[in-house]
Amino acid sequence: TNSGPPSLSALRELHRHHVHSIPIESLSIHSGEKIILDISWIYNKIVVRRRGGFCYENNGLFLWVLQQLGYQTQVLSSMVRNRIIGIYGPPFDHMILVVNLEGRRWICDVGYGEAPVEPFPLEAGWEEEQDSGVYHLLVEGDEWYMERKEENGWRSLYKFTLEERTFEDFRDMCEYHQTSPSSIFVQKSLCSLQLPRARLTYIGRQLITTEYTKGGGSVKTTRKLTDEEIPGLLRDTFWIVLSGKLIPKDEDIVIPKTHQSVRFMIADLLVKLTIVIL
């Protein structure tokens, strides 16, 4: 732990060290453990029991650490974009942090698998290559979009506004993400850890290794797993030993009814528009 005064170099080191040592995981949900939005509980789970967590846990712990070290922090709500249907989740879908430091503001996010590995300047149009990819901040009105470079262009990861929130504001969505069939964390037993220029991801009954190449490219390899192999893999690869029995899961994400109605409405409009044009 860096005990010196707040500095950008120390913040970068803390952020990078967090993402390289604490996995993003949903294993509690698939091994009979309730996730509680409480810093002492999260500290015990991640630090004492050597686990990981989803965004509210990882970013919640990082928020507490930064506050203890004297950093000026803010909590923001963001909405994650669904890769399949292109629709953003509800408010408080994802939690991110902003740190005011040395005359600039920095996005800190240690709870999202594809996010920057180091703090990212909160500046419109900023583009930067990091270990995990090339990122860009797009601003439209009061909405900010964190984008990641793909082979066919920029892809939005999530969007957010600068309205300040509190850690407690995420309580309902923390419950939603561990109970709703529309939540990726309910549909998939997963554990993912960032490495230097690579990422290791356990999901369901497979292990995915992603190597990041210069300019935003990536190469993936997948290994199938048996149920018997999974506990040993979690122990040896992610240093995780669960207290309950894990039930592996990798199901398709269910689109919420509100999103389905929007989807059908758009499809219906497109059909009518086509008829008018023809």
Active site residues: 55, 94, 109
- Cβ burial of 68 (10 Å; 0-12, 13-18, 19+) is exposed
Kind plus residue range of the DSSP H or E element containing 137: strand 133-140
Q: Of the candidates 165, 2, 162, which has an alpha carbon nearest to the alpha carbon of residue 71?
A: 2
Contact assessment for residue 184 and residue 173, using Cβ atoms and an 8 Å cutoff: no
Strand partners, 96: 76
Kind plus residue range of the DSSP H or E element containing 186: helix 184-187
Q: What span, in angstroms and rounded, lies between the C-alpha atoms of 232 and 216?
A: 32
Q: Take residue 272 and report the two structure tokens written for it.
A: 């009518």
Q: Of the candidates 55, 90, 61, which has an alpha carbon nearest to the alpha carbon of residue 73?
A: 61
Q: What span, in angstroms and rounded, lies between the C-alpha atoms of 3 and 199?
A: 29
Q: What span, in angstroms and rounded, lies between the C-alpha atoms of 242 and 82?
A: 29
